[in-house]
Homo-oligomer: A and B are copies of this chain.
Amino acid sequence: MLALGIDIGGTNARAAVVEVATGRLLASAKEAWTDRTPENVVSVVQALVSKVTAGHELTGVAAGVGFAGMLRGDVVVNAPNLGWRDVDFGGPLSAALGRRVRLVNDLSAAAWGELKAGAARGASDSFTVFVGTGVGSAIINDDVLLSGATGVAGEFGHTKVLADGGRLCGCGEHGCLEAYMGGAKLTEWMAESGIAGTPADLERLALEGATPAKGLYDFAVGHLALAIANQVTVLNPAVLVLGGGVLLRCPGIIKRVTTVVMTRASVTSRSGLRIALAELGDDSGLVGAALLGR
Protein backbone atom coordinates (compact mmCIF):
# COMPACT_ATOMS: atom_id res chain seq x y z
CA MET A 1 0.00 0.00 0.00
CA LEU A 2 1.21 3.50 -0.85
CA ALA A 3 0.89 6.89 0.84
CA LEU A 4 1.65 10.43 -0.24
CA GLY A 5 3.65 12.78 1.95
CA ILE A 6 4.44 16.47 1.61
CA ASP A 7 6.86 18.46 3.74
CA ILE A 8 6.64 22.25 3.61
CA GLY A 9 9.45 24.25 5.14
CA GLY A 10 10.32 27.93 5.07
CA THR A 11 12.12 27.92 1.71
CA ASN A 12 11.21 24.71 -0.05
CA ALA A 13 8.82 21.78 -0.27
CA ARG A 14 9.33 18.06 -0.71
CA ALA A 15 6.89 15.40 -1.81
CA ALA A 16 7.23 11.64 -1.71
CA VAL A 17 5.45 8.39 -2.38
CA VAL A 18 5.92 6.22 0.68
CA GLU A 19 5.51 2.48 1.06
CA VAL A 20 3.24 2.15 4.09
CA ALA A 21 4.59 -1.17 5.37
CA THR A 22 8.20 -0.02 5.53
CA GLY A 23 8.16 3.79 5.48
CA ARG A 24 10.50 3.62 2.48
CA LEU A 25 10.47 6.48 -0.07
CA LEU A 26 9.66 5.06 -3.51
CA ALA A 27 9.90 8.44 -5.21
CA SER A 28 10.69 11.90 -3.92
CA ALA A 29 11.30 15.40 -5.22
CA LYS A 30 12.17 18.77 -3.78
CA GLU A 31 11.79 22.33 -4.96
CA ALA A 32 12.68 25.71 -3.52
CA TRP A 33 10.74 28.92 -4.15
CA THR A 34 11.47 32.60 -4.16
CA ASP A 35 7.80 33.62 -4.26
CA ARG A 36 6.42 32.40 -0.95
CA THR A 37 2.79 33.42 -1.46
CA PRO A 38 0.26 30.69 -0.64
CA GLU A 39 -0.81 30.59 -4.32
CA ASN A 40 2.73 29.92 -5.49
CA VAL A 41 3.45 27.37 -2.77
CA VAL A 42 0.29 25.50 -3.80
CA SER A 43 1.44 25.40 -7.42
CA VAL A 44 4.98 24.30 -6.46
CA VAL A 45 3.52 21.47 -4.40
CA GLN A 46 1.10 20.54 -7.18
CA ALA A 47 4.00 20.16 -9.65
CA LEU A 48 6.01 18.10 -7.14
CA VAL A 49 3.07 15.77 -6.53
CA SER A 50 2.52 15.28 -10.29
CA LYS A 51 6.17 14.37 -10.59
CA VAL A 52 6.40 11.85 -7.74
CA THR A 53 3.03 10.17 -8.30
CA ALA A 54 3.70 9.45 -12.00
CA GLY A 55 3.67 5.68 -12.45
CA HIS A 56 2.25 5.00 -8.96
CA GLU A 57 -1.35 4.11 -8.21
CA LEU A 58 -2.50 6.75 -5.71
CA THR A 59 -6.08 7.40 -6.77
CA GLY A 60 -8.17 8.46 -3.81
CA VAL A 61 -5.20 8.50 -1.44
CA ALA A 62 -5.18 11.54 0.84
CA ALA A 63 -1.99 13.54 1.20
CA GLY A 64 -0.37 14.14 4.57
CA VAL A 65 1.29 17.52 4.83
CA GLY A 66 3.93 18.33 7.44
CA PHE A 67 4.04 22.08 7.88
CA ALA A 68 6.51 24.28 9.74
CA GLY A 69 4.01 26.48 11.52
CA MET A 70 1.04 26.68 13.82
CA LEU A 71 -2.08 25.09 12.41
CA ARG A 72 -5.77 24.88 13.19
CA GLY A 73 -7.36 22.31 10.92
CA ASP A 74 -6.83 23.47 7.33
CA VAL A 75 -5.73 26.95 8.38
CA VAL A 76 -2.16 28.09 8.91
CA VAL A 77 -2.53 30.32 11.96
CA ASN A 78 1.08 31.48 11.95
CA ALA A 79 4.11 30.49 9.87
CA PRO A 80 6.90 32.96 10.71
CA ASN A 81 9.28 31.57 8.06
CA LEU A 82 6.73 32.11 5.31
CA GLY A 83 5.26 35.29 6.75
CA TRP A 84 1.76 33.75 6.69
CA ARG A 85 -0.99 34.48 9.20
CA ASP A 86 -4.47 32.92 9.14
CA VAL A 87 -4.12 31.47 5.66
CA ASP A 88 -6.58 28.80 4.51
CA PHE A 89 -3.99 26.56 2.91
CA GLY A 90 -5.63 23.14 3.17
CA GLY A 91 -8.65 24.11 1.04
CA PRO A 92 -6.79 25.43 -2.03
CA LEU A 93 -4.15 22.67 -1.76
CA SER A 94 -6.82 19.98 -1.67
CA ALA A 95 -8.55 21.52 -4.71
CA ALA A 96 -5.25 21.74 -6.63
CA LEU A 97 -4.26 18.15 -5.84
CA GLY A 98 -7.71 16.68 -6.39
CA ARG A 99 -7.43 14.73 -3.13
CA ARG A 100 -8.05 15.22 0.58
CA VAL A 101 -5.16 16.68 2.56
CA ARG A 102 -4.32 16.54 6.25
CA LEU A 103 -2.09 19.26 7.65
CA VAL A 104 0.06 18.47 10.66
CA ASN A 105 2.81 20.30 12.46
CA ASP A 106 6.22 19.33 11.06
CA LEU A 107 7.50 18.12 14.40
CA SER A 108 4.44 15.93 14.95
CA ALA A 109 4.98 14.48 11.48
CA ALA A 110 8.64 13.78 12.25
CA ALA A 111 7.75 12.12 15.56
CA TRP A 112 5.16 9.98 13.79
CA GLY A 113 7.68 8.96 11.13
CA GLU A 114 10.17 7.92 13.82
CA LEU A 115 7.43 5.98 15.66
CA LYS A 116 6.21 4.06 12.65
CA ALA A 117 9.36 3.61 10.60
CA GLY A 118 12.33 4.86 12.61
CA ALA A 119 13.88 4.97 16.07
CA ALA A 120 10.68 4.21 18.01
CA ARG A 121 9.35 1.51 15.70
CA GLY A 122 7.22 -1.01 17.56
CA ALA A 123 6.27 1.36 20.38
CA SER A 124 2.97 3.16 20.91
CA ASP A 125 4.19 5.86 23.29
CA SER A 126 7.04 8.22 22.55
CA PHE A 127 8.39 11.59 23.55
CA THR A 128 10.39 13.11 20.73
CA VAL A 129 12.69 16.08 21.24
CA PHE A 130 14.38 17.84 18.35
CA VAL A 131 17.11 20.38 19.02
CA GLY A 132 18.12 22.15 15.84
CA THR A 133 17.69 25.81 15.05
CA GLY A 134 14.92 25.71 17.64
CA VAL A 135 13.77 23.24 20.27
CA GLY A 136 10.55 21.32 19.76
CA SER A 137 8.83 18.15 20.87
CA ALA A 138 5.92 15.89 20.12
CA ILE A 139 4.08 13.51 22.40
CA ILE A 140 2.49 10.28 21.25
CA ASN A 141 0.35 8.33 23.71
CA ASP A 142 -1.18 5.00 22.75
CA ASP A 143 -0.64 5.70 19.04
CA VAL A 144 -2.31 9.11 19.23
CA LEU A 145 -0.50 12.43 18.77
CA LEU A 146 -1.24 14.74 21.66
CA SER A 147 -2.60 17.92 20.12
CA GLY A 148 -3.78 19.89 23.13
CA ALA A 149 -6.85 22.09 23.38
CA THR A 150 -5.76 24.53 20.67
CA GLY A 151 -3.33 22.35 18.76
CA VAL A 152 -0.12 23.69 20.29
CA ALA A 153 0.85 20.84 22.63
CA GLY A 154 4.53 19.95 22.58
CA GLU A 155 5.96 23.48 22.82
CA PHE A 156 8.75 22.11 24.97
CA GLY A 157 11.18 24.73 23.64
CA HIS A 158 9.09 27.43 25.28
CA THR A 159 9.10 25.97 28.76
CA LYS A 160 10.96 28.35 31.04
CA VAL A 161 14.25 27.57 32.74
CA LEU A 162 13.88 30.46 35.19
CA ALA A 163 11.02 31.78 37.29
CA ASP A 164 11.63 35.34 36.02
CA GLY A 165 13.42 37.02 33.16
CA GLY A 166 16.16 35.29 31.23
CA ARG A 167 17.40 35.62 27.67
CA LEU A 168 15.00 36.82 24.98
CA CYS A 169 13.55 34.05 22.82
CA GLY A 170 12.38 34.31 19.22
CA CYS A 171 8.82 33.92 20.51
CA GLY A 172 9.07 37.30 22.26
CA GLU A 173 9.18 35.89 25.80
CA HIS A 174 12.17 35.60 28.12
CA GLY A 175 13.80 32.55 29.66
CA CYS A 176 12.59 29.85 27.24
CA LEU A 177 14.69 26.71 26.96
CA GLU A 178 15.00 27.50 23.23
CA ALA A 179 16.56 30.88 24.07
CA TYR A 180 19.53 28.97 25.51
CA MET A 181 19.59 25.63 23.74
CA GLY A 182 18.15 26.30 20.25
CA GLY A 183 20.99 26.44 17.73
CA ALA A 184 20.16 29.95 16.54
CA LYS A 185 19.96 31.50 19.99
CA LEU A 186 22.83 29.48 21.43
CA THR A 187 25.08 30.73 18.62
CA GLU A 188 24.03 34.32 19.38
CA TRP A 189 24.79 33.79 23.05
CA MET A 190 28.18 32.30 22.17
CA ALA A 191 28.99 35.31 19.97
CA GLU A 192 28.05 37.74 22.75
CA SER A 193 30.38 35.79 25.04
CA GLY A 194 33.23 35.92 22.53
CA ILE A 195 32.98 32.26 21.52
CA ALA A 196 33.18 31.68 17.77
CA GLY A 197 31.74 28.72 15.91
CA THR A 198 28.89 26.30 16.22
CA PRO A 199 27.29 24.46 19.17
CA ALA A 200 29.63 21.56 18.35
CA ASP A 201 32.58 23.94 18.84
CA LEU A 202 31.08 25.04 22.15
CA GLU A 203 30.82 21.42 23.23
CA ARG A 204 34.46 20.74 22.40
CA LEU A 205 35.62 23.83 24.35
CA ALA A 206 33.33 23.05 27.30
CA LEU A 207 34.49 19.46 27.56
CA GLU A 208 38.08 20.77 27.62
CA GLY A 209 37.02 22.93 30.57
CA ALA A 210 37.49 26.28 28.81
CA THR A 211 35.75 29.35 30.19
CA PRO A 212 33.33 30.87 29.52
CA ALA A 213 32.33 28.01 27.19
CA LYS A 214 31.83 25.55 30.04
CA GLY A 215 29.48 27.93 31.84
CA LEU A 216 27.23 28.43 28.83
CA TYR A 217 27.25 24.75 27.91
CA ASP A 218 26.55 23.48 31.41
CA PHE A 219 23.70 25.94 31.89
CA ALA A 220 22.00 25.20 28.57
CA VAL A 221 22.59 21.45 28.49
CA GLY A 222 21.83 21.05 32.20
CA HIS A 223 18.44 22.70 31.79
CA LEU A 224 17.68 20.72 28.63
CA ALA A 225 18.56 17.45 30.33
CA LEU A 226 16.54 18.12 33.49
CA ALA A 227 13.54 19.33 31.48
CA ILE A 228 13.61 16.17 29.36
CA ALA A 229 13.91 13.97 32.47
CA ASN A 230 10.90 15.73 33.99
CA GLN A 231 8.83 15.20 30.86
CA VAL A 232 9.74 11.51 30.92
CA THR A 233 8.41 11.42 34.50
CA VAL A 234 5.13 13.08 33.55
CA LEU A 235 4.55 11.39 30.17
CA ASN A 236 5.94 7.88 30.79
CA PRO A 237 6.96 7.20 27.18
CA ALA A 238 8.27 3.82 26.01
CA VAL A 239 10.86 5.54 23.85
CA LEU A 240 12.57 8.92 24.16
CA VAL A 241 13.62 9.94 20.65
CA LEU A 242 16.35 12.56 20.36
CA GLY A 243 17.01 14.31 17.07
CA GLY A 244 17.76 17.56 15.28
CA GLY A 245 20.98 19.04 13.94
CA VAL A 246 22.38 20.29 17.24
CA LEU A 247 21.75 17.08 19.18
CA LEU A 248 23.01 14.81 16.44
CA ARG A 249 26.25 16.81 16.08
CA CYS A 250 26.92 17.00 19.84
CA PRO A 251 27.47 13.54 21.34
CA GLY A 252 28.25 15.16 24.69
CA ILE A 253 24.70 16.55 24.89
CA ILE A 254 23.22 13.14 24.09
CA LYS A 255 25.40 11.60 26.80
CA ARG A 256 24.45 14.23 29.40
CA VAL A 257 20.75 13.95 28.60
CA THR A 258 20.91 10.16 28.86
CA THR A 259 22.69 10.29 32.22
CA VAL A 260 20.31 12.84 33.69
CA VAL A 261 17.19 11.05 32.41
CA MET A 262 18.37 7.72 33.81
CA THR A 263 19.09 9.25 37.23
CA ARG A 264 16.53 12.06 37.60
CA ALA A 265 13.38 10.77 35.89
CA SER A 266 11.13 8.88 38.33
CA VAL A 267 12.15 5.27 38.90
CA THR A 268 8.90 3.95 37.45
CA SER A 269 9.08 6.07 34.30
CA ARG A 270 12.75 5.33 33.56
CA SER A 271 12.64 1.57 34.12
CA GLY A 272 12.19 0.04 30.72
CA LEU A 273 12.60 3.40 28.98
CA ARG A 274 14.50 3.24 25.71
CA ILE A 275 16.47 6.29 24.55
CA ALA A 276 17.08 6.34 20.81
CA LEU A 277 18.51 8.73 18.24
CA ALA A 278 16.27 9.76 15.37
CA GLU A 279 17.05 7.51 12.41
CA LEU A 280 15.24 8.98 9.43
CA GLY A 281 17.13 12.26 9.24
CA ASP A 282 15.50 14.77 6.90
CA ASP A 283 12.95 12.19 5.77
CA SER A 284 11.19 11.74 9.12
CA GLY A 285 8.65 14.50 8.51
CA LEU A 286 7.92 13.37 4.98
CA VAL A 287 7.42 9.75 6.01
CA GLY A 288 5.38 10.69 9.07
CA ALA A 289 3.16 13.07 7.11
CA ALA A 290 2.50 10.39 4.50
CA LEU A 291 1.55 7.81 7.14
CA LEU A 292 -0.62 10.31 9.03
CA GLY A 293 -2.37 11.39 5.84
CA ARG A 294 -3.76 7.94 5.05
Contacts and interface: CB of A to CB of B under 8 A. Distances in A.
Report which residue of A142, A147, A173, A236 has the largest number of chain B beta carbons within 10 angstroms of its beta carbon. A236
A272 interface: yes
A272 B72 CA distance: 15
A232 to B, nearest CB: 9
B227 A230 contact: yes
A141 B125 contact: no
B268 A155 contact: yes
Contact of A171 (B147, B264, B266): B266
Contacts of A137: 234
B154 A147 contact: no
A10 to B, nearest CB: 19
Contacts of A268: 70, 150, 152, 155
A150 B236 CA distance: 7
A156 B125 contact: no
Nearest to A77: B268
Number of this chain's copies in the assembly equals 2
A234 B70 contact: no
Interface in A121-159: 123-125, 137, 139, 141-142, 144, 146-156, 158-159
Contacts of A94: none
A1 interface: no
A264 B148 contact: no
Nearest to A153: B236
Interface residues of A toward B: which range?
35 or more
Given A155-B269, A234-B156, A147 B141 contact: yes
Interface of A: 70, 123-125, 137, 139, 141-142, 144, 146-156, 158-160, 163, 171-173, 175-176, 222, 225-227, 229-231, 233-238, 260, 264, 266-269, 271-272
27 contacts: A125-B148, A125-B149, A141-B153, A142-B147, A146-B146, A147-B236, A148-B236, A148-B269, A150-B268, A151-B236, A152-B236, A152-B269, A153-B235, A155-B236, A155-B266, A155-B269, A158-B233, A159-B229, A159-B230, A159-B233, A159-B234, A159-B266, A160-B229, A171-B266, A171-B267, A172-B267, A227-B230
